[in-house]
């Protein structure tokens, strides 16, 4: 094992981290090689800097006039230069400030500095590399984003255990979650991944439900190390008073010495910049010191370096400028109101469906947040319905041949009645 990895492991000794790191995570470190030496040179090489593999002209990163034109004169340092492996420091600090503003429960809680990754998918994959070992058990709701299976089931070869997300009353299934967590913990280590607002259901549990989740995981952390991953891709898009308004991470970051909380979030959906591919990874556990945080960040930075080198400088620069602009909050609120209006239009459509008895084979799952809603298909193949809708010029997603996912966020409010009329007609024709 590299001596730098040994040093980091020693710095984390006595905490939950070494007990939940994968073999790769234990071996991971950030090398004092080209990138580290170039960072030192940036600070001290005031005469000539012949370290980084970038071409310079007149002291600035070289760029084509066409690129300068297309980036509206953005300095080449902000557009084409390499970004630091863990992201632009000012953006990392600004994102943490925003995270604390959105999650008041984190006030005074020690966390790592958010590290930039090229999208939430990369963030989850990097976290999986560090924390998930072949043979580990990952607890997921039975309604989950299919890419988890590739990232954890295939890439990391973990055993996926599912629990029923909703009970018969259409609320978060506390008993199924608790039973699933206890069963998964029997392996000697528990990894749980929760995504609120959920994809594909578009659902966020209540404050009481989140308290139950916390209580369950804290209770298990008394006997086994726990990793709690929060996929916050759709964070902030809450449309009713039922939904818990903070990240689950805010309730777990300081919950127990034996519980490592991980928040994977980003600008992708929160700031409507899907192709920017700017995500963040933040970690915490009770009792984390600045030395612990620094060691964790070094391991995470090494994992990022080994996988993608670094994330897009241009995307980071544009996001940072947006976050610092006085118009940001107002424009983001305008975008939120558009989605909120679509949600309320959807609720009126579904209320009319219930009252009229239309398409009884389509059971809407609870929905209060995010981009999506889903129907449970009763006595009907979701895939057959998806194909029938394609013949009508309508695109939807079939999940497990049991659920039909509809991205209502992608349709203007005035188009939603027609969309759902097509869905109801197609389902009735297949019944």
pLDDT at 41: 65
What mean pLDDT do residues 318-324 have? Answer: 95
Residue 256 phi/psi, 5° resolution? -165, 145
Q: What are 150-184's pLDDT values in tens digits?
A: 999 999 999 999 999 999 888 999 999 999 999 99
Q: Does residue 35 have a pLDDT over 70? A: no
Count the helix, strand and coil residues of the chain and give each as a percent rounded to the nearest 5.
Answer: 50, 15, 40
Write the DSSP assignment of 11-51 as a string of letters.
HTTTSSHHHH--HHHHH----SSHHHHHHHHHHH--S----
pLDDT at 34: 61
How far is the C-alpha of 305 from the C-alpha of 38, rounded, in Å? 14
Give all domains of the chain, ordered by start, each with its CATH number: 3-30+85-324 (3.40.640.10), 329-430 (3.90.1150.10)
Q: What are 328-346's pLDDT values in tens digits?
A: 999 999 999 999 999 999 9
Write the DSSP assignment of 93-157 as a string of letters.
HHHHHHHHHH-GGGTT---PPPEEESSHHHHHHHHHHHH--TT-EEEEESS--THHIIIIIIIS-
pLDDT exceeding 70 applies to what percent of the chain? 96
What mean pLDDT do residues 367-391 have? Answer: 96
pLDDT band at 33 (very low <50, low <70, confident <90, very high): low
In terms of Cβ atoms closer than 10 Å to its own Cβ (0-12, 13-18, 19+), residue 383 is middle
Q: Does residue 429 have a pLDDT over 70? A: yes
Lowest model confidence (mean pLDDT) among 52-66, 193-207, 405-419: 52-66
pLDDT at 70: 86
pLDDT at 61: 84
How far is the C-alpha of 219 from the C-alpha of 185, rounded, in Å? 11
Contact indicator for 396, 405 with CB cutoff of 8 Å: yes
Token reading at 363? 């059971």
pLDDT at 421: 97
pLDDT band at 45 (very low <50, low <70, confident <90, very high): low
What mean pLDDT do residues 41-50 have? Answer: 69
pLDDT at 59: 82
pLDDT at 181: 98
Q: Does residue 39 have a pLDDT over 80? A: no
pLDDT at 154: 95
Q: What are 88-115's pLDDT values in tens digits?
A: 999 999 999 999 999 999 999 999 999 9
Q: Which residues contact 117 (CB under 8 A, 6 or more apart)?
A: 123, 126, 266, 279, 280, 281, 304, 308, 311
Decide: helix, strand or coil at residue 397.
strand
- pTM summary value: 0.94
pLDDT exceeding 90 applies to what percent of the chain? 86
Tell me the average pLDDT of the chain: 94
What mean pLDDT do residues 406-423 have? Answer: 97
Q: Does residue 388 have a pLDDT over 90? A: yes
How far is the C-alpha of 336 from the C-alpha of 330, rounded, in Å? 10
pLDDT at 58: 81
pLDDT at 60: 84
Decide: helix, strand or coil at residue 88.
coil
């Amino acid at each position: 094992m590299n001596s730098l990895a040994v040093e980091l492991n020693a710095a984390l000794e006595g905490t939950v981290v070494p007990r939940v790191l994968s073999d790769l995570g234990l071996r991971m470190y950030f090398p004092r090689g080209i990138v580290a030496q170039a960072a030192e040179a940036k600070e001290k090489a005031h005469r000539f800097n012949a370290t980084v593999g970038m071409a310079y002209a007149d002291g600035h990163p070289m760029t084509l006039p066409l690129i300068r034109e297309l980036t509206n004169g953005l300095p080449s340092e902000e557009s084409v230069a390499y970004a630091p492996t863990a992201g632009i420091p000012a953006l990392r600090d600004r994102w943490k400030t925003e995270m604390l503003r959105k999650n008041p429960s984190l006030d005074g809680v020690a966390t790592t500095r958010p590290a930039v990754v090229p999208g939430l998918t990369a963030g989850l994959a990097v976290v999986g590399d560090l924390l998930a070992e072949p043979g580990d058990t990952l607890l997921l709701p039975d309604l989950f984003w299919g890419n988890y299976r590739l990232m954890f089931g295939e890439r990391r070869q973990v055993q996926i255990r599912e629990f029923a997300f909703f009970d018969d009353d259409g609320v978060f299934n506390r008993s199924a979650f608790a039973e699933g967590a206890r069963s998964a913990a029997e392996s000697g280590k528990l990894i749980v991944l929760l995504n609120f607002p959920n994809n594909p259901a578009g659902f966020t549990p209540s404050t009481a439900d989140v308290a139950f989740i916390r209580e369950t995981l804290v209770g298990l952390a008394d006997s086994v190390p726990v990793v709690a991953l929060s996929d916050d891709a759709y964070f902030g898009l809450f449309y009713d008073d039922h939904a818990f308004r903070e990240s689950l991470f805010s309730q777990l970051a300081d919950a127990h010495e034996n519980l490592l909380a991980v928040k994977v979030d980003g600008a992708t959906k929160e700031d409507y910049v899907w192709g920017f591919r700017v995500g963040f990874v933040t970690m915490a556990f009770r009792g984390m010191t600045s030395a612990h945080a620094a060691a964790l960040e070094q391991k995470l930075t090494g994992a990022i370096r080994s996988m993608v080198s670094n994330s897009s400088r241009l995307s980071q620069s544009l996001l940072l400028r947006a976050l610092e602009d006085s118009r940001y909050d107002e424009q983001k609120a305008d975008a939120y109101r558009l989605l909120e209006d679509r949600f309320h239009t959807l609720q009126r459509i579904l209320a009319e469906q219930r009252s009229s008895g239309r398409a009884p084979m389509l059971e809407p799952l609870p929905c209060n947040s995010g981009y999506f809603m889903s129907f449970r298909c009763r006595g009907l193949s979701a895939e057959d319905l998806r194909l029938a809708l394609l013949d009508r010029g309508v695109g939807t997603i079939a999940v497990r041949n049991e659920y039909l996912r509809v991205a209502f966020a992608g349709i203007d409010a005035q188009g939603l009645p027609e969309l759902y009329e097509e869905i109801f007609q197609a389902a009735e024709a297949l019944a």
